[in-house]
Structure 1
């Protein structure tokens, strides 16, 4: 399962939330540290002042009345009592407690050994602090008499963690809403650019994109518009040039045919006539190929299974052996006329060199694959890439007697690639050739 978003807007949201969580955690730990130091100083400072005031009060109280005075000085949070010893709570004191005891002794003007401090588990020790004997202090009044003080600490920030989580959740929701709205607006030109590039790559007409958004995005859109214009101009110039050459060849070919009519009928004239016939077919095929390249067709949703079945039925009506067993309805967004043209070229090759063709339709949800199987001699592995080049015919299995010009597979590949797909060849183990046409479902928007 992918945890990291794939879209730019999703990644902006994820990075924003990550930055928010990290900043909140850093703030939380800084606050906890500073809060602990603040509470320790405040609580210990107040306790030292209160204990010093209590000791000064006891100086004016008779010994037999000290117990009542200590009880009167006690409050709910700070309680005093007299005892002959400091108590067991001060055994094994921590370094922090010793430092506080030293500071208190200095502030009260007393010897250090007459002051004891014990820091309880509830004082300034994290979010699990509880009210209780957070701090104990014992001060020796005179020989055999110690004034014990017990400070009850109620942490005013004990609910801070819960409040922080609520604040974090509210901030995250608001930030996600803001980032989603702004990121969608920021990435809108990129989505338009991606869609236009996909359509232009399939040979569709694409109008110049509006240049708006951030400066970097505007430059990218402007560069795409310039590229689109240059490529369209280049393709148009190439198409016109090849079409003009193929068209102009008709005149000298026709003139040569007429001249041959006045020559004796022998092997040389028959060979020259065959050559002229090949040139005429190549010229017509070139014109057809360029018209196919320049042609544009609107895309629409079709039942590919029905389209293939109807095409095979046309072949069967003409007496050809073409086998296809239609399955369930298979919807695909495509240019149906172009798909029929590509399939017709592949099926023609299968019938010419394999005498029969069998079509299989496969669906793997992401793409649709049309396999055309024949029983011919197959193709050498080293030659498979060449057969898609224009005017290439493999003489070992495809002779001029077949009447082909070598443009059928070129046209088929152009159509398939125009749909964002691919066409591949493979020799079958049982003999024959397998042509696989893979058409992605997302190839056309």
Structure 2
């Protein structure tokens, strides 16, 4: 009993395997139901009950006419009355009629009206449906005993389906495909909705690490994946919080000895040594402040929102123009993007500052594709050695030949810019241009 209960719970668990199995079963049952309904409706139209064929009303008047004629004339008269839709056969006895053998051929169902039309109504009547003929395409037959004990048979062909066999099979196949498609669509939507919510939650966390956890819905496997993602998200949030607190403590602890070093430097009599010490202290203080600004970037706490990226870039170009820095801009006049405008503004500012400091003729380009957009910052300058195109993104890495201490910065600008771009799901790369210069390319998903 202890083993049966867990198995029973597992069977009832909402799992992907269960949904796939149910989808296949429901698709098969629905296809069979559509097929049976089509065959039933078409069969009722092609093979209606004998009382609904119109054969009974016409037969009553013919019976009276045949009975009123001479027996010797009845065969010829029956042949004369026959046409392509109704065939009449008269015989003095019942033998000789080509009829199937049934246990009870007496026509009872729906015969009351027909018997009332006959005089006298008490006579033997046999009725046959198309389905009574085994193995062949049957017909309707009505066998009536006349008042002189002779027999008259009315025979009428069954209705045609109106369609060839190949066409009927094609209709059945189409119905099967439609029914299977409907069931599969309903089932896949049931499975796809929680996956879409999962993907949206993951993308939301990619641009906002403070995003709330995803609601665990859907089959068992998807719920387990969502719960695992929520646990990972909570751990990352906890790690970021701890790291920020640790860096704040380090900054506080480092600033105290630096202050003491500066105070003690005031007592150094050698002015040259004193200035060197003060420069080292100032550089260390700047590195600490830059590192703290990098790790405690307020732009990363910004909520993602819809904004006009083209307008933001044009505003930056206007700000540089006010500072007598001419930057050429090319791109659409409006481009709505969902992201963090403060963070992207900081990225563009860093790239444009580098283009102005270490190059000339800065150009800003904006372009959009189907699912991506690109922001390119171009300049004409010395460029970067090919082996250092990736190294410059490492924290505190500086190219001494072109970007040394005298130019300012501690080597965290590009690291911070790439981190912000990647948090948007994009990428930042550098390329040397033909003819000299550098291209900083920001690629962002739409």
* TM-score above 0.5, yes or no: yes
Q: Which residue number corresponds to residue 423 of structure 1?
A: 428
Question: For structure 1, which segment, 154-163 or 196-205, has the greater mean C-alpha deviation from structure 2 after superposition?
Answer: 154-163
Q: Of the candidates 340, 350, 374, which is equivalent to residue 355 of structure 2?
A: 350
CA distance in 2 between counterparts of 1:331 and 1:17 reads 46
2:195 counterpart of 1:190: yes
What's the counterpart of residue 162 of structure 1?
A: 168
Structure 1: how far apart are the matches of 2:427 and 2:370?
16
Alignment-derived partner of residue 233 in structure 1? 238
Q: Look up the match of 1:385.
A: 390
Structure 1 position 235, deviation (Å): 1.8
Deviation per residue, 1:166-191 (Å, 9 max, x gap)? 68438725861x54444333332222
Is the Cα contact below 8 Å between 1:388 and 1:413 reproduced in 2?
yes
Cα distance between partner residues in 1 of 2:178 and 2:28: 7
Query: Does 2:260 match 1:260?
Result: no
Are the aligned partners of 2:31 and 2:179 in contact in 1 as well (CA < 8 Å)?
Answer: no
User: Which residue in the other structure is 2:325 paired with?
Assistant: 320
Task: Label 1:248 to 1:347 Cα distance change in 2 as closer, same or farther (>3 A).
Answer: farther
Rounded Cα–Cα distance in structure 2 between residues aligned with 1:354 and 1:303 = 28
1:85-143: per-residue Cα shift (whole Å, max 9, x none)? xxxxxxxxxxxxxxxxxxxxxxxxxxxxxxxxxxxxxxx99xxx9x9xxxxxxxxxxxx
RMSD value, Cα: 4.9
Q: How does 1:34-433 map to 2 (within 5 A)?
A: 159=163, 161-162=167-168, 165=171, 168-169=174-175, 172=178, 176=182, 178-292=183-297, 295-325=300-330, 327-433=332-438
Q: Which runs of 5+ in 2 are unaligned?
A: 1-15, 40-75, 88-134, 139-155
By how many angstroms is 1:406 displaced? Answer: 0.7
For 2:301 and 2:235, locate their aligned partners in 1 and report how far apart those are by CA, in whole Å: 19
Equivalenced residue count is: 342
- Cα displacement string for residues 333-381 of structure 1 (whole angstroms, at most 9, x for unaligned residues): 2211111111111111112211552211122232221111122211111
Within 2, Cα distance between the matches of 1:277 and 1:320? 29
The unaligned stretches of length 5 or more in structure 1 are 1-7, 32-67, 79-123, 132-151
Q: Which SS does the other structure have where 1:426 is aligned?
A: strand
Look up the match of 1:436. Answer: 441
- CA offset at residue 435 of structure 1? 0.3
Q: Give 1:319 deviation, angstroms.
A: 2.6
Residue 41 of structure 1 is matched in structure 2 by none
The answer on whether the counterparts of 2:421 and 2:442 sit within 8 Å (CA) in structure 1 is: yes
SS of 2:296 mapped into structure 1: helix
Please state whether the residue corresponding to 2:297 is helix, strand or coil: helix
Q: Check 1:243–1:357 CA distance in 2 against 1; reply closer, same or farther (3 A cut).
A: farther
Distance 2:421 2:364 in 1: 16
Structure 1 residues 351 and 229: CA distance shift in structure 2, 3 A: same
The answer on whether the counterparts of 1:306 and 1:326 sit within 8 Å (CA) in structure 2 is no
Query: 2:445, 2:284 → 1: CA distance?
Result: 37
Q: Is the Cα–Cα contact under 8 Å of residues 246 and 287 in structure 1 kept in the other structure?
A: yes
- Per the normalisation by structure 2, the TM-score is 0.63
CA positional deviation for 1:198:
0.9
